[in-house]
Structure 1
Amino acid sequence: MTFFQDYGLTPELAVILAIDLTIAVILLTLMRYLQGWSINVNSHHELAEKDNFAFGISTAGGVAALGIVLTGAITGEAASSYLIEAIGMTAYGVFGLVLIKLGRLLHDKIALNEINKSELIIKGNVAVSIVDASAVIATAIIIRSVLMWAEDLTLDTFIAIFSAFIVSQLMLVLLTRWREYRYAKRNQNASMQTALEQGEIAIAIRHAGYLLAMAFSFSAASHFIDYDPQAYFNNLMGWLIFSIIMLVALSLLLALVKKLVLAQINITDEVEKQKNIGVAAVEMAISVAIALILMALMA
C-alpha cells in the first residue's frame, strides 16, 4: 500500500475511482440499448443476427461519444465525499447522455432534414451511419470541452453548458448547409443528402472529417471564454463569436493545406465522381489534423 500512496493513490481516492468507473460502465451499457430503443429495433438482432454494419457504426458512434463526454465529467478534483462524487458523476453523465440524444435529434431533423436517417440505417446504409456517428462524436467532443470549462454543480452550471451546446449545434448545422451549397454548386444543384441516401461512402467520410474538425476547433473557445455561471448572455455570445472565427480560420486553412497535401489531385472529381474512398480518407485526416493543430495553438 505504501508504494501506491507514494504516487498519490490513497484508499479514499481508490474508492472514488471505483465509483466513477462503475457509473461510467453502467451509462455506457445503457447507451448500447438506447440506440436500439430510440429507433424501435432490437440491438442484439441488428448487430448479431442481421449483421447490420450501418447500425453497428451508428451504435459505435454513440458509445464512443458517451465515453468522450464521461472523460469531461471525470476530469477534475475529487469531491469531498463519496456521495457527492457519485451524484456529480451521475448528474454530469446523465446530462451528457441527454445532450447526446438531443444533439442526434437536432441533427436528424435539421441538418439531415431531407432523409430519414433511422430508416436508412436500419436498411444498412453505411454512408448515412458514418455521418451519424461522426456527428454524435463531434457533439460529444464539444460537450466534453464545455464540461471541463464549467465549474461546480449548480443550476447555473447546467444553463452555461446547455448554452454552449445550443451554439455548437447551430454551427454544425451551418457547416452542413455550407457543405451542401458547395456540393450543389459543383454538381448541377444535386443534393449532398441524396448522395448520402444513395450510399456514397466517400462523400460521407469527407463530411465526417469536416464535422469532427468543427468540433475540435469549437472546443478551443474554452481557453478564451472566462467561466461566469450567471453571465448567461455573455457566455452564449462568447461561444458564438469565437466559434464563427474558428470556423472561418479552419475553412481558409483547409483550403490551402488540401491543395498542398493533395497537389495534382482533383479532389472533387475523385471524391464526388469516382467515389474514391482513399482520397476522401486523406481529406478527412487533413481536416482533423488542422483542427487539432489549431486547438493546440489556441491552448
Structure 2
Amino acid sequence: MNPFITITNFTSHQVLLLFADFVLALMLLFATRIFLKSRVKSKPEDMLASQDNFAYGISFAGSLVAMAIILSGAISSGMRSDFIEDFSRMLSYGIYGLILIRVGTYLFDRIALNQLDKWQELYNKNISVSIVDAASAIAIAIVIRELLIWVHGLSVYTVIAVTVGFVIAFCVLIIVTRMKEKEYAKNNQADSMQKAFKLGQEALALRFSGQLISTSLAVSAAGQFFIFDPATLVSALLGWSAIALIMILLVSTISRIAKHFILWKVNLVTEVDHQHNIGVASIEMATSISIALILTSLIG
C-alpha cells in the first residue's frame, strides 16, 4: 500500500478527487482574469506591464484572492465521496461565487462608492481606490465562504441560503460604509471620504479596508451560532443577522480600545486623515483585522 495514502488516511480515489478539485479551482481563477479583461479599456498585460498600472494590479490581486477564498469554502463544504457530485458542487459554487463577487463589487461601487467611477480611477492609476476595491471583494468573499461551509450539499435550499445570506451581509457592509463616511465627515469639517479616495488618500483607504474586512469576519463568525436546516432557514438567517450586528459592535469597540493602547499618544485623525500617514493606517488596519480574527477563533 502506498505509505502516503496510508499516513494521510486518503484513498487513491479521494486523491484523484482532490486533484480534480484543484484543477477546477485553477480554471475558475483563470476565469476571474477573463472577466477583468472585459471590464477595462486595455488588455491586462498592457495595463500591468506596458503602463505599469499598479492600481489595476492591486485590484486584480484582490479579485484573485477573493475567488480563492470562495473556492476554499466550496472545497471545504464537500465530503469528496462521489466524483460527479463533488465536481458538480465545486463547479456550481465556484461559478455562483464568481457571480456573487461580481454582483457584490458592482453594487458596492454603485451604492457605497457612488461618488466616483471606479474603473476610470483604476485606469488613472488611483492606488487608494484600488485598495478599497480589493478589500471590498475580499470582504464579500469571506462572507460567501462562510455561507458555503455553513450549508450542506447542493440544493435549492442551499442556493437560497447563500443568496439571502449574501444580501444580508452586503447590506451590513453598506451600513458600515455609511457610518464610516459620517465619522470621517465629522472629523474633517463635513468633507467627503469618497472625495478623499478620489484624491488618492492611500492611508485612509488602508484604514477603511481594515474596517471592511474586520466587519466581514464578524459577520462570518455569527454563523457559528446556528446550524443549517432548511426547516428553520428563515429563523437561522434572522438570528445570524442579529448576532452579526452584535459581533460588529463588539469588534469595533474592542478595536478602538486596542488602537488606543497600541498607538498610544498618537492622534489617529491627524496622522491618517490629515497627514496621510500610511504607517499608522497600516497598524490600524492590522489591529482591526487581528481583533476580528481572534474573536472569530474564540467563537469557532
Q: State the TM-score, normalizing by the size of structure 2.
A: 0.97
Equivalences for 1:70-85 in 2 at 5 Å? 70-85=71-86
- The SS at the match of 1:38 is coil
How far apart, CA to CA, are the structure 2 residues paired with 1:219 and 1:236?
A: 12
What residue in structure 1 maps to residue 222 of structure 2?
221
What residue in structure 2 maps to residue 181 of structure 1?
182
How far apart, CA to CA, are the structure 1 residues paired with 2:139 and 2:93?
A: 18
How far apart, CA to CA, are the structure 2 residues paired with 1:45 and 1:230?
A: 52
Residue 29 to residue 60, structure 1, CA distance change in 2 (3 Å):
same
Higher mean C-alpha displacement, 140-149 vs 237-246:
237-246
How far apart, CA to CA, are the structure 2 residues paired with 1:41 and 1:232?
A: 45
Matched AA of 2:182? Y
Higher mean C-alpha displacement, 120-129 vs 81-90:
81-90
Q: How much does 1:225 deviate? A: 1.6
What residue in structure 1 maps to residue 93 of structure 2?
92
How far apart, CA to CA, are the structure 2 residues paired with 1:280 and 1:80?
A: 46
Q: How much does 1:6 deviate? A: 1.2
What residue in structure 2 maps to residue 3 of structure 1?
3
Which 5+ residue runs of structure 1 have no aligned equivalent? Answer: none
What residue in structure 2 maps to residue 194 of structure 1?
195
Summarize deviations over 1:49-71 as a string: whole Å, max 9, x none. Answer: 21110000000000000001100
Residue 18 to residue 154, structure 1, CA distance change in 2 (3 Å):
same
- The SS at the match of 2:38 is helix
What residue in structure 2 maps to residue 162 of structure 1?
163
How far apart, CA to CA, are the structure 2 residues paired with 1:181 and 1:95?
A: 34
What residue in structure 1 maps to residue 60 of structure 2?
59
Higher mean C-alpha displacement, 94-103 vs 35-44:
35-44
- The SS at the match of 2:134 is helix
What residue in structure 2 maps to residue 261 of structure 1?
262
Q: How much does 1:232 deviate? A: 4.1
- The SS at the match of 2:230 is coil
Contact 2:140 2:216 in 1 (8 A): yes
Higher mean C-alpha displacement, 282-291 vs 82-91:
82-91
How far apart, CA to CA, are the structure 1 residues paired with 2:262 and 2:81?
A: 51
Contact 2:78 2:86 in 1 (8 A): no
- The SS at the match of 1:253 is helix
Summarize deviations over 1:92-121 as a string: whole Å, max 9, x none. Answer: 111111111111011101110111111101
How far apart, CA to CA, are the structure 2 residues paired with 1:91 and 1:163?
A: 17
Matched AA of 1:205? L
How far apart, CA to CA, are the structure 2 residues paired with 1:133 and 1:230?
A: 36
What residue in structure 1 maps to residue 283 of structure 2?
282
What residue in structure 1 maps to residue 294 of structure 2?
293
Contact 1:205 1:281 in 2 (8 A): yes
- The SS at the match of 1:78 is coil
Q: How much does 1:76 deviate? A: 4.1
Matched AA of 1:3? P
Contact 1:16 1:78 in 2 (8 A): no
Q: How much does 1:2 deviate? A: 2.2
How far apart, CA to CA, are the structure 2 residues paired with 1:214 and 1:25?
A: 28
How far apart, CA to CA, are the structure 1 residues paired with 2:175 and 2:245?
A: 10
How far apart, CA to CA, are the structure 1 residues paired with 2:231 and 2:96?
A: 19
> Percent sequence identity over matched residues?
38
How far apart, CA to CA, are the structure 2 residues paired with 1:13 and 1:169?
A: 36
- The SS at the match of 1:231 is helix
What residue in structure 2 maps to residue 142 of structure 1?
143
Q: State the TM-score, normalizing by the size of structure 1.
A: 0.97
Contact 1:141 1:219 in 2 (8 A): yes
Matched AA of 2:116? I
How far apart, CA to CA, are the structure 2 residues paired with 1:176 and 1:94?
A: 27
Residue 40 to residue 87, structure 1, CA distance change in 2 (3 Å):
farther
Report how many aligned residue pairs link the two structures: 299
Q: How much does 1:73 deviate? A: 0.6
Which 5+ residue runs of structure 2 have no aligned equivalent? Answer: none
Summarize deviations over 1:242-273 as a string: whole Å, max 9, x none. Answer: 11111111121112111111111111100011
